[in-house]
Every structure is written in structure tokens, then in C-alpha cells.
Structure 1
Amino acid sequence: MLHASLQQLRLFEAVARLKSITRAAEEKHLTQPAVSIQMKKLEESVGMPLFESVGRQLHLTVAGNELYDACRDVLQRLADLDAALADLQGEVAGPVNLVVVSSAKYFLPYLLGNFIARYPKVEPRLQVTNRARLLERLDANEDHLYIMGQVPDDLPVVEYPFLENVLVIVARPDQPLAKQKNISLKTISEQRLIGREPGSGTRKAVEELFAKSGLKVSPYMELGGADEIKHGVMAGLGLAVLSLHSLRLELAAKKLVVLDVENFPLRRRWYAVHRQGKRLSLAAQTFLEYLQQEGEQEIEHLLTHDASILTDNPDV
């Protein structure tokens, strides 16, 4: 192990966590052969196999599990050291690693941009991904903060609500329901609904709401992100439940309309989350405080600036 490099340990941790050389290469922005070569060299240093293939999935050997636990400890200690050294300088500077679910990409960059304007020596690292990948990184304690609409109940985390997440049902302007008022949930359940993948926070919230009324909703079509869903609605494929933050341009351009449905808008919260016991750097802690103290006000200002969004939907 004295011959193993930190880069090899970082790559091994990613391969072990994702159980895939291909996915690890994508995450680290490397080619698959480059990662494979480094894993081969690491196995030679250890003197024992670290992986075994079962079907198409990689699994850790006993030696691999021992190395994985050690890797996580070493990499976390190095991250803590990096944060501690930066904090000793007493300056809000250095990296802030953020991972956000796809729906948050419509507002988080604005907040991050305002924060960077105030603290120009901060180095933001923003990754947008789906909920499943975000939870993998959260479980591995890979980053400083995670932005999501639904906090997992099976991981030891600390959550910080900072922004209202307004969920609305949208349709094309020429959809017959667009001119109706107080549409029942039963009527909506009978429509073609375009939904997110299983596990999505939005999907879970919608399913729970309909279940309380004794109704079951299943997507007519599943798409991976808000952009794809919006285009599906605009193409006439069905209705969809989306966060208001993702609809600024389409509502302003009158490409979509918000339906008047009972029990909607569905009001939830956006959360910043990190693992319990995590020591945040001064830069990450300052950004977290900014989200809590000013995030809602900044986004309200953004929406007010785009006042045409609410012109036809005064109740949103």
C-alpha cells in the first residue's frame, strides 16, 4: 500500500461505491481504460484481488472491503484537513462542493452566483444529478452540501429548510382543463400524466397526496428530468406536476399554464443536507447560512422581477 497513490485511492473509492468502472470513470471525468489500468496497478500493490465480477456487476472481495473502509477514512481526514487549513486563514475561500437534484438547477445557480459575487475567492463545484445518484454521494459523504426536496429517512443526516418548493399541475394552453376551475383530483387521476422516475421526491409527494383521497396515479410516461417533462407537456403528451421554480420561462412565454386543481399548489420545502457529524469548511458553512437567511428573499426577488409568471395565476 505504500506504493498506492491518492489518485488510485480516490478512483478505487468511486469504483467500489458505484460498483462500476464505467460509472466511476464518468464521475471522475476519465476514460474507462484509464480507470481500469489504475485499478490493476492498485491490486498489484495490495497483492490480492479487490473486485470480483458477478454477472455484469462488480463486487468487493474481503480485501476490497477492508481497503474501501480505509479509503473512506483517509479521504475524509484529508478533506477535513483541507477545510481546517482554509479556516485557519480566517477567509471565506476555497471549494464548496454542491450536489443538487435536477429540479434545483433552476434556482440554485442564481443563489450561488450572488454568493460568489460577495465572496469571490470561493470556488463553487456544482453537480446536477438525479435523486438516486445524489443519495449515493450523500451516503459516501462525498461533498459539502446536497440540495433536495425530500430528505431521506434511512441515512443519518442534518437538514436545513431554506426555500419553499411550490408544486403545480401544468398543461398546454389549449388543453380542455385549462379553462376549468377547482378541478378535482379524481379528474386529474383520469388524465395522462407525465411523471418522474421512481424514487423522485416530487413523484412521492404527488402519490401521497392522491392516496389520501383514495386515488392512485401512475405515470402514462416516465421521463428523467423537468426539461424533458416540460417538452412532453408542450407536445400534448399529457399533464405534469412540476416545481414552479422550473417553469419561469414557459409560463412567461405562455407555452404552459397552471391548472386550477383542488389541493394544489402543493407547498413543500427545499433542503440543504449533509451527513451527521460532518465538519463543514468556513466557505461551506457561510454558504449554508446564506441559503437559510437570504435564499427565500433572493428567489422571491427573482420571481417578482419576472412578474408575468403570476399574471394569469394569481393563486400560485
Structure 2
Amino acid sequence: MRHSTLRQLEVFETIARLGSFTRAAEELFLTQPTVSMQIKKLTDAVGLTLFEQVGKKMYLTDAGRELHQTCRDIFERLAQFEMVASDMKGLKAGKLRLAVVTTAKYFAPRLLGMFCQQYPGVEVSLKVSNRERVLERLADNQDDLYILGQPPEEVDAVAQAFLENPLVVLAPVNHPLANKKRIPLKRIAEEPFLSREPGSGTRIATERIFSEQGLKLKIRMELGSNEAIKQAIIGGLGISVLSRHTLALDAPMGQLAVLDVQGFPIDRQWYYAYPSGKQLSIVAQAFLSYLQQAPQFLVEVSCNTRPSDTELPGFVEAPTSERMEP
């Protein structure tokens, strides 16, 4: 192993992460024969087989898994040293790896953009996925920080709220309930409901508030993205509950109504999280400080999601001409 090079370890780590020699070659801008040669040299140095192929799929052997973890540790320590060295020079440089649940994609890029303006030497990797996958990444410590809609109780982690995340009931603008006030939950439970997939934080919070009243939603369809749900609402397939943040940027103009429902909006928070005991990099610490200082961006987002604000593009507030009592 002493004669193995960092380049060989980098090639191996990339193959192990992507599960493909071809994709690793593309990511590293190398030819596939070069990648194969580097792995052959590394395998000879280790003296054990690192990969095995079953059918068309490639798997790590026991030795490969141990080496993969070692590679991750080595590259993590090197990255930390580069950040420390930059910090000693009076610079903030390095890489920030952030994983967020899908709804957070509506504000995370703007949030990161403002952070990178302050620290232009920082390179950002942003992964967007559903809650289940983000929790898997958190448990496996694949990233620096994670943003979720509720604390990760399934994983031993540090979590802190940093931004409001109100959930609202959405319907087509021409829906009969769009003209009502103080709509009872029981009435909403009678409507066909469009839901996110099981395990979604939005779905968990929504089902909880209905179950507390002894009510059950009439789920007509499960959809894996907020955009699909908004289009289904516009198409008249049902109503739904989504984060108000999903309306701030790109919903079709004037085609969605926020219903005035008793118990809504559901007051929730956005949380950042990281594994308990994790030593945060200098860049990750800088990003947390940035969040905790409540930059103007967060103030604006919080203000723009208040129920009284009718200026947001992509939706209209339900008219107030009629009143519905329980």
C-alpha cells in the first residue's frame, strides 16, 4: 500500500461511489483504460480483490468496503487541512456539501448564492432528494449539513430550527371552497386529496393534524414531487397541503388558491442537522454562522410566507366574501 498514490485512491473512491468504471472515468475526465490500469495497480498493491461483478452489477468486496471507508477518511482529512490552511491565510475556501429535502429546493439555491457571495472561494455541492434518502445520507455521514422539514428523530443528530415553514391548503382557484372562510377540517377530509409519498415530512404533519381530530384523508393519488401535485391541483384532481415556500417562485399565475382552513397554516420550521459527534469543517461552521445570524434573506422569506401577503406570484388568496362555520 505504501506505493499506492492518491490518484489511485481517488479513482477507486469514485468507482466505489458511482458503481461504474465508465461513470468514474467521465467524472474524473480520464479514459476507461486509464481507470482500469489505476485499479489494477491498486489491487496489486493491496493484494486482495477490491471489486466483484455479479451479472451486470459491480459490488465491493469486504476488502473493498474497508478501503472505501479509509479513502473517505483520508480525503475528508485532506479537505479539512485545505480549509484550515485557507483560514490561516485569512480566506474562507473549501467545499460545502449540503443535502436538502425536495421542498427546500425553493430557497436553498438563493440561500447558498448569498453565502457564496460572501465567501467566493467556497465550492458548493447541493443534493436534493426526498426525506428518506436525505436521512440515509445523514446516517451515512455523506455530507456536511442537511436541511429537513422536521428534526431527524430516526438518526442520532444535532438539529436546530432556522426558518419558518408554514403548510397551507391549496385548491384550484375556481374550487367551491375558495370563497369560504374558516373551513372545518371535517369538510377538507371529504375532498379528494393529493399526497406526497409515505415518509414525506409534509405528509406526516398533515396526517397528524387530521388524525388528532379523528379524521382520515381521502387520498386519491400519491405524487413524488411538489410540482406534480401543483399541476394535479390545477387539473382538478383534488386539493393538497404544501409548504408555502413552494408558491414563492414558479407556480402558474393565478391558478392556485390558498384555502382558509381551521388549524392552518400548520406552523413548522426548517431545520439544519448533522450527525452527533461530527466535527464540522471550517466552511460548514461558516455556513451555520451565516444561518444563525439571520441574514436579510431569511427575514424576507419569512415575511413573504405570512398568510396576509397576497403579493406572492403563483397563487391567490381565497376571497373573503363568504364565511363557513363549523
Q: Verify same fold: TM over 0.5.
A: yes
Compute the displacement of 1:297 (Å). 1.1
Bigger Rg, which one: 2
2:143 counterpart of 1:143: yes
Specify the code of the residue in structure 2 equivalent to 1:282. I
* Structure 2 equivalent of residue 165 of structure 1: 165
Cα-to-partner distance string for 1:39-94 (whole Å, 9 max, x where unaligned):
96465654444456789976654333433443343233233323322322232233
Look up the equivalent residue of 2:317 and give its one-letter code: D
How far apart, CA to CA, are the structure 2 residues paired with 1:125 and 1:161?
22
Q: What displacement does 1:96 show?
A: 2.1
Q: CA deviation at 1:261?
A: 1.5
**What is the aligned-residue identity percentage?**
43
**1:308 and 2:311 are equivalent in the alignment:** yes
Matched, 1:8 2:11: yes
Return the offset for 1:224: 1.7
1:185 paired residue number: 185
Higher mean displacement: 274-283 or 94-103 = 274-283
Aligned counterparts, 1:209-224, within 5 A: 209-217=209-217, 219-224=219-224
SS at match of 1:272: strand
Judge conservation of contact 1:86–1:282 (CA < 8 Å) in 2: no
Which amino acid is 1:297 matched to? V
Separation in 2 of the partners of 1:127 and 1:34?
26
User: How far off is 1:254 after superposition?
Assistant: 1.5
- TM-score, normalised via structure 1 length: 0.81
C-alpha change, 1:285 and 1:235, in structure 2 (3 Å) is same
Report the more deviating stretch, 261-270 or 109-118.
109-118
Match of 1:299 among 291, 298, 301: 301
| SS, match of residue 294 in structure 1 | coil
User: Whose helix proportion is higher, 1 or 2?
Assistant: 1
User: What is the CA–CA distance in structure 2 between the aligned matches of 1:273 and 1:230, rounded to whole Å?
Assistant: 28
Q: Secondary structure at the match of 1:267?
A: coil
Gaps of 5+ in 2: 321-326
Q: Which digits, 9 at most, give the CA deviation of each residue in 1:201-246, with x for residues without a partner?
A: 1111112222222223363222221112111111111111111011
RMSD: 3.5
User: CA 1:285/1:232 → structure 2, altered by over 3 Å: closer, same or farther?
Assistant: same
Say if 1:152 and 1:300 are closer, same or farther in 2 by CA, change over 3 A: closer
Q: CA deviation at 1:249?
A: 4.5
Structure 1 counterpart SS, 2:294: helix
Output the TM-score relative to the length of structure 2: 0.79
Residue pairs, 1:117-128, within 5 angstroms: 117-128=117-128
Number of paired residues?
A: 307
Cα pair distance change 1:40/1:220, threshold 3 Å = farther
1:290 to 2:295 alignment: no
Partners of 1:91 and 1:222 lie apart in 2 by 47
